[in-house]
A and B are shown apart, each in its own frame.
Chain A
Amino acid sequence: MSRNFKVSYKEDMALLQNGWQKGWLVILVLTLIFVPLFLGRYQLSILNEISIVLIGALGLNLIIGYTGQLSLAHGAFVAIGAYSSGLITGKLALPFLLSLPLSGLIAAILGLVIGIPSLRLKGLYLALGTLAFGFIIEYILQHWDLTQGDLGMGVKRITIGDWTIKTQLEYFYFLGTFAFLSVLVTSNIVRSKIGRSFIAIRDRDIAAEAMGINIIKYKIIAFALSAFYAGMAGCLTAHFNRWLVPSSFDISLTISAIAVIIVGGLGTVLGTVLGAILITGIPHAIVYIVDIFQDSYPALSGIVVEIKLGIFGLVIIATLLIEPRGLVGIYQRIKVYWKTWPFKY
């Protein structure tokens, strides 16, 4: 293990710590570019779903995992982003490339309405305020003529210049690139001064303040960033599903996003990626398994849809009770075990 001996600050801060990581990253990127060419529409749509979930969950991890502030308005921010983009590209007829950052910005600005008063206070006020905010947003979307409530709202396809995204494969290359960029940006945020301030606030806020970190400022930055990510995820959801109803952005969306970051490991980017794959994959895997038994138990697939949220709840509790560091924690334990095998570390 002492082979990883850093001699300069630059080396210590490097995004990829050694040659192995660089090699694996190249293999991963090549796989992601070429394997989709051989996949069917259904598999591609799962990958697209994972990409969108990942972008939103990265934002949620910034506020919950890195800054240690519990925000329960994830679903609301995704909804704001989705409806903003739907209205901007629809009613205002602005190009998609403009509406993507705008929908993130709108989510962040609206989030600050509740974020600023709650973040001034310590403790659980943010959790309560954001929860209330989520319900109010859902209510507004239901009752506003502009958003058409349960009637639903149609959204245009993504058009960039002359290129209109139509097939799942095109969606995959677009969303996958975007998810990759989000991972890169997040990794850079968390190793910069901002990210270290987030972690300091999470670990010991009073000590952080004593060291000159403006706690309120950084908490608000974290909250706005998380809303921005969620807003963009919402924008992508809107253009991917192309149909919006308020009830698809309720508290269950927040719960599944929380499940993603907890299962993966709070406060790690790698964990968020793993969590997004696992949590998005679980329902599809169950449906796949259920299909095999479909003939003998026809009522089974209905049950699965009903208990999906219950399974996420179980996953959250089991992770927090058994391995609070999530999948990343398990991975690190295995790594340490094999590094020193057959001796105990």
Chain B
Amino acid sequence: METAVDVLFSGLSMGSIYALVALGFVLIFKSTGILNFAQGELCMVGAYICYYFATKLEVPYLLAFIAAVVLGCALGALIDLLIFRKLVGEPVHSTILVTIGLASILVSFTGLLWGHDTYSINSPFIGKTFTVGEMIFSQASVATIGVSIVLFFLFIMFFKKSLLGIALMGTAEDSDTAGLMGINVKKMRMLAWVLGAFVASVAGIFLAEQSFVHTGMAHIGIKAMAAAILGGMQSIGGAIIGGILVGIIESLAANFLTDLAVGGFHFGDVKDVTAFVIMILVLMIRPHGIFGKKEVERV
């Protein structure tokens, strides 16, 4: 058993990664109406690029980080340009199926390019810790939480204060009217993909910091979906709080249930499915999430 502070802290650092991924997810969903099942794969690609630069090419960590984020954004723009720009107006389920296809393409080709083994990024945080009184925190987790908070703050300010952010919100609200008001809807959709890929890459690199780089890390996208649903699919603040809640619940579940066995059933790595149980419970009890508004359908 770890102490309560340890459990909460690891939950918080994992939760801020979920929140980042969920944020990208909500950004894309709000502005384009596409439920992006490839969000986790975008994280994975970001982490792999960072690994490639930092460990293989031995570029300084900060440069590798920037390169990964920039290339991740470029990938987001490319995806919009090549695929989703052509699918505007198609039924919702076909756009989702395209993202599922995209997810499997990204995983296979990343695996083909860099291999399916596990790697670690050559970062300045490895093995370093902070000590506050009796408690020890890993620097990577502290950095994750710190950068996430800064990013959340920047994003909220972006949507509240900047013209571009307001234009993006307008496109999300009603793309036809936004177009009539002189907003370039195509550019806004692309911007949403770029921002989504941006937070995904950052989240992917931090996730790799806490564990390793491998193709299985794409799983985080689906877990973050649970966070987005918990917060309400339409709300950016909801995604952040949902992500942190999922992280903490997961950490608690892992702490209390892992060694349990009930009638031939071993809980084991219960961490892997906690988010999915939360997702199903939310769908059953409050499908519009904590902050989402109940949708009213007009004929």
Interface residues of A (CB under 8 A from B): 64, 68, 70, 72, 114, 117-118, 121-125, 127-129, 131-133, 135-136, 139-140, 142-146, 206, 252, 255, 258-259, 262, 303, 306-317, 320-321, 324
Closest B residue to A121 by beta carbon equals B287
Binds A, one of B8-16, B155-163, B187-195, B262-270: B262-270
Known interface pairs A143-B266, A143-B267, A310-B104; A131-B98 also in contact (CB < 8 Å): no
Interface residues of B (CB under 8 A from A): 35, 83, 86-87, 90-94, 96-98, 100-105, 107-109, 111-112, 116, 222, 225-226, 229, 264-268, 272-273, 275-277, 279-280, 283-284, 287, 295, 297, 299
Chain B residues lying within 8 Å of A72, measured Cβ to Cβ, are 100
Sample of 7 more A-B contacts, CB < 8 Å, known A64-B93, A117-B284, A316-B101: A70-B97, A309-B104, A312-B104, A313-B103, A313-B104, A313-B105, A320-B101
Chain B residues lying within 8 Å of A114, measured Cβ to Cβ, are 280
Closest A residue to B266 by beta carbon equals A143
Closest A residue to B111 by beta carbon equals A306
Taken together as a complex, chains A and B put the C-alpha atoms of A128 and B98 apart, in Å, by 15
Closest Cβ of chain B to A70, distance in Å, is 5
Q: Please tell me if the beta carbons of B92 and A124 are within 8 angstroms of each other in the complex.
A: yes
Closest B residue to A70 by beta carbon equals B93
Q: Please tell me if the beta carbons of A262 and B280 are within 8 angstroms of each other in the complex.
A: no
Q: Please tell me if the beta carbons of B35 and A324 are within 8 angstroms of each other in the complex.
A: no
Chain B residues lying within 8 Å of A146, measured Cβ to Cβ, are 264
Q: Please tell me if the beta carbons of A125 and B277 are within 8 angstroms of each other in the complex.
A: no
Q: Please tell me if the beta carbons of A320 and B87 are within 8 angstroms of each other in the complex.
A: yes
Known interface pairs A206-B299, A313-B103, A316-B101; A145-B108 also in contact (CB < 8 Å): no
Closest B residue to A318 by beta carbon equals B101
Chain A residues lying within 8 Å of B93, measured Cβ to Cβ, are 64, 68, 70, 127
Closest A residue to B116 by beta carbon equals A306
Chain A residues lying within 8 Å of B100, measured Cβ to Cβ, are 72, 255, 258, 313, 316
Chain A residues lying within 8 Å of B283, measured Cβ to Cβ, are 117-118, 121, 125, 128-129
Q: Please tell me if the beta carbons of A310 and B297 are within 8 angstroms of each other in the complex.
A: no
Known interface pairs A68-B93, A144-B264, A321-B86; A131-B222 also in contact (CB < 8 Å): yes
Closest A residue to B264 by beta carbon equals A145
Q: Please tell me if the beta carbons of B276 and A262 are within 8 angstroms of each other in the complex.
A: no
Closest 10 CB pairs of A and B: A310-B108, A316-B101, A145-B264, A313-B104, A132-B276, A313-B101, A313-B105, A132-B279, A309-B104, A117-B284
Question: Would you give 19 A-B contacts (Cβ < 8 Å), ordered by A?
Answer: A68-B91, A127-B96, A128-B225, A128-B229, A132-B275, A136-B276, A143-B267, A258-B100, A306-B111, A307-B108, A310-B108, A310-B112, A313-B102, A313-B104, A314-B101, A317-B83, A320-B87, A321-B87, A324-B94
Chain A residues lying within 8 Å of B264, measured Cβ to Cβ, are 144-146
Chain B residues lying within 8 Å of A117, measured Cβ to Cβ, are 280, 283-284, 287
Closest Cβ of chain B to A6, distance in Å, is 30
Taken together as a complex, chains A and B put the C-alpha atoms of A145 and B267 apart, in Å, by 11
Give the one of A262, A308, A309 with max B CB within 10 A.
Answer: A309
